[in-house]
Structures are given as structure tokens and as C-alpha cells.
Amino acid sequence: QSDLTQPPSASGTPGQRVTISCSGSSSNVERGTVHWYQQVPGTAPKLLIYGDDHRPSGVPDRFSGSKSGILASLAISGLQSEDEATYFCAAWDDILNAPVFGGGTKLAVL
């Protein structure tokens, strides 16, 4: 069981907009900043969004992050087949004094 809660799966068709949620608590998502990762099987997670809504250089603006209270969201617009991957959220936890992660959401592009 992960510290942050994500839906196990999501799906969309090419061109569609999909949203993935991440629920935490006052000690992590609400108080800290949320980061999102994309992981393709057999590779390390890649940072997609940091500090709730910032994109590292090279990440398309189709990816965006938002947060309200204990709930954070990752939105992917203009869905492409290459977006098929597992997406993880992460946040610093003030009680654990460590980053905590969600269980991951496997995105299928139908």
C-alpha cells in the first residue's frame, strides 16, 4: 500500500485530454510540493512535473500539473500513443521526513 493514492489505471483515445489524480494528506500533498513521473517498462522514472506545476526543459506543454488541498492532478492534453506509460506522483512528507510516492497509474492509449 502506497503513501499516496492514485487510480491503478486510466485510458483515453488519441487527441483526448486525460486527468490522473493523486490523493495524499496534510503532511505531504497539502503542505509540500507535488512531482509527477512517467515510467516506461524497463526504464527509470522520468521527471515530468515538479513543484506542483513546473515542467523540466524538454517536457511538452501537453503535460500540466495542479493541486488543491490534499489532491493533486496531472493532465495530459492531445493524448498520443507515446504517452502510454505508468505515471507516479510524489511529495515530501513532513512526518516521515522523506519523499513518498503514489502506487502509479497505468495509462492506456486506445
Binding site for another protein (CB under 8 A): 2, 33, 35, 43-47, 50-51, 54, 56, 88, 90, 92, 96-104
- Report the half-sphere exposure of 107 (CA within 13 A, side-chain side): 27
Q: What is the smallest separation between the CB atom of 78 and another protein, expressed in angstroms?
A: 24
Whether the CB-CB separation of 70 and 100 falls below 8 Å is answered with no
Q: What is the smallest separation between the CB atom of 80 and another protein, expressed in angstroms?
A: 23
Q: What is the smallest separation between the CB atom of 9 and another protein, expressed in angstroms?
A: 13
Q: Can you read off the three cell numbers belonging to residue 73? A: 492532478
Beta carbon nearer to another protein, 70 or 105: 105
- Positions of E strands within 17-70: 18-23, 34-39, 46-49, 63-68
Beta carbon nearer to another protein, 79 or 93: 93
Q: Can you read off the three cell numbers belonging to residue 106? A: 497505468
Beta carbon nearer to another protein, 60 or 99: 99
Q: Can you read off the three cell numbers belonging to residue 25? A: 494528506
